[in-house]
Structure 1
Amino acid sequence: MASITTSDGTQLFYKDWGPKDAQPVMFHHGWPLSADDWDNQMLFFLSEGYRVIAHDRRGHGRSDQTDTGNDMDTYAADVAAITEALDLRDAIHIGHSTGGGEVARYVARAKAGRVAKAILIGAIPPVMVQSASNPDGVPMEVFDGMRSALAANRAQFFLDIPSGPFFGFNREGATVSQGMIDNWWRQGMAGGAKAHYDCIAVFSETDFTEDLKAINLPVLLIHGEDDQIVPIANSAHKAIKLLKHGTLKTYPGLSHAPFATHPDIINADMLAFARPA
């Protein structure tokens, strides 16, 4: 398996497919998943002539199950280490949910020439948790409940999420895919419980306001209007106001993971944004 070792000794697994001289597209997965969540999109962009890269975040998938470094600054530093090791230039970074926050933090700090564009799907920025400065955010009790459920029975918790709100399978008339549920569970259970527990605070409490303001590159925000995990009013509708060169595209009735449930629609829109005008 391909991997790099970071400055603190953590091994990070990654996939790297396609011509090494093609424009790179790097994918950043959500909690508590892995690079495998992007199989469809990696095959799609590969078929369009791109070089495609996806990594397992530390503590997730096949990367080391670290008990430290599970914070957004370290996640972004890990991305920088991979992009430098692979010498990715003019890359398009695509992130989902927590991965969208990772992209925002990395892109805001990336060295000149490393990044061309970014796409954030169902992403957590600017900040999820409710506070005095974010009164319409998600109450802390929700995230405390997630921590309790993970600690009590992670295996069951990781069935409940994809069976219900993540893909919108709890909505009347939804076409439920058992394969997608099982694959979500498989990816989640491959990671480390400590990292997954820590990451709940990371995705709920990290404030990306200044990151969004600092990005000077084109950013496409993709968000399902029926996102039950990262409500659109508290995320994309706020994030678009902070971006200098942002485009917001929303999808009525679609869930937190529209790229998974409706790849034909989302892939085409991402490709149109990725290609030079």
Structure 2
Amino acid sequence: MPFITNKKSKETVDIFYEDYGTGQPVILIHGWPLSRKSWEHQVWKIVEAGYRCISYDRRGFGISSAPWDGYDYSSLASDLDTIINGLELEDAVIVGFSMGGGEVVRYLTDYGDAKIAKAALISSIIPLVKQTDDNPDGVPESALKDIQKALENDRVGFLKAFHNGFYNFDENKGKRISQAVLDYDFIVASHASPRATIEAALAWMHTDFRPELKNVKVPTLVVHGDADGTVPIETSGNLAAKGIAKATYEVIKGAPHGLNVTHKEELNDILIKFLKS
């Protein structure tokens, strides 16, 4: 199985990746608390459209190594840089879902865009999740602390219920996804490192990317669902599209956070069109 080793970080980290197809490379960065497997409905469409598609497990998730520390965004971006350099990629498109949007922006901040042609933020946490005086639509600090406490006290219990809201399952039961999808996500999420699950959550909860939006200079696709209850569009997609100079903004009506599954056809059409533009 293909692993690539990041020796730049404090602890040596082995990152598992899958690499299919030929052509311009498209790198998929998954959301929290899942793995590369969450891109199932996108990988084959990207390859089918004539691109090389690379997806990988974030450190601490899937079958990548799980160091004790190093879940801040600069450490995570160093893993992405290791993949880009290790596979000798040029003219790449980096696509981040939810938490993965942070790796996209931090990579461009820390490493620049010499090897990057385009970027995409899908249901992304960019630019800031937490509610502050100048981000009034964000998630209140008390709610974020409740998530942290739940993960520390009953991680699997929290994860068991988490994806209901991720997909707005109770509202769309039987219409968009099956119960089996929730069960599958729970299996994937529950097998992640407990330490990584908490530390990565703290990273997406508290990192403020607003000062870094100026570093996103490549053409960037922003896709968000207007029914996203996990990362509300008002404090994410709307602000990201406004703050990124070369943004193309697509709002999928009625789509929840996990629109890569519930609205996969719509997302795939938007993404492929952007890749070909």
TM range, smaller chain:
over 0.9
Equivalent residues of 2:227, 2:256 under 8 A apart: yes
Q: Distance in 2 between matches of 1:258 and 1:92?
A: 20
Residue matched to 2:140 = 139
4+ aligned runs moved over 4 Å, structure 1 = none
Distance in 2 separating the partners of 1:187 and 1:144: 24
| Partner-residue secondary structure (3-state), 2:224 | strand
Alignment deviations for residues 133-191 of structure 1 (CA, whole Å, 9 cap, x no partner): 322211011111111221222222111011x2101112266624112112211211221
Structure 2 counterpart of 1:168 = 168
| Partner residue in 1 for 2:13 | 10
Aligned residues of 2:90 and 2:116 also touching (Cα < 8 A): yes
Deviation at 1:34, TM superposition (A): 0.5
TM-score (norm 1): 0.94
Letter in 1 for 2:19: D
1:25·1:51 contact (CA, 8 Å) conserved in 2? yes
Give the TM-score of the pair, scaled to structure 2: 0.94
Which residue in 2 is equivalent to 1:26? 27
Task: State how far apart, in whole Å, the 2-side matches of 1:230 and 1:11 are.
Answer: 30
Matches within 5 A, 1:26-105: 26-105=27-106
Checking the alignment, whether the CA contact within 8 Å between 2:74 and 2:110 is kept in structure 1 is no
Note the 1:173-192 alignment, pairs <5 A. Answer: 175=175, 176-192=177-193
Query: Deviation of residue 75 (structure 1)?
Result: 0.5
Judge conservation of contact 2:105–2:215 (CA < 8 Å) in 1.
no
Q: Supply the AA of the counterpart residue of 2:6.
A: T
2:3 maps to amino acid: S
Number of equivalenced pairs: 273
Secondary structure of residue in 2 paired with 1:32:
coil
Q: Which amino acid aligns with 1:73?
A: S
Mapped partners of 2:172, 2:185: distance in 1: 21
Q: Which moved more, 1:258-267 or 1:126-135?
A: 126-135
Does the 8 Å CA contact 1:66/1:192 hold for their aligned counterparts? Answer: no
Cα deviation for residue 125 of structure 1 reads 0.9
Alignment partner, residue 155 of structure 2: 154
Paired residue secondary structure (1:62): coil
Q: Which runs of 5+ in 2 are unaligned?
A: none
Matched-pair identity in %? 34
Q: For 1:235-261, what per-residue CA distance to the aligned partner results, in whole angstroms no more than 9, with x for missing partners?
A: 111111211101111112110011111
Indicate how the Cα distance of structure 1 residues 261 and 205 shifts in structure 2: closer, same or farther if over 3 A, else same: same
* Alignment RMSD (CA, Å): 1.4
SS of aligned partner of 1:58: coil
* Partners of 1:131 and 1:137 within 8 A in 2: yes
Partner of 2:183, secondary structure, is helix
Cα offset, 1:107, TM superposition = 2.7
Secondary structure of the structure 1 residue equivalent to 2:230: coil
Change (3 A) 1:159 1:173: closer
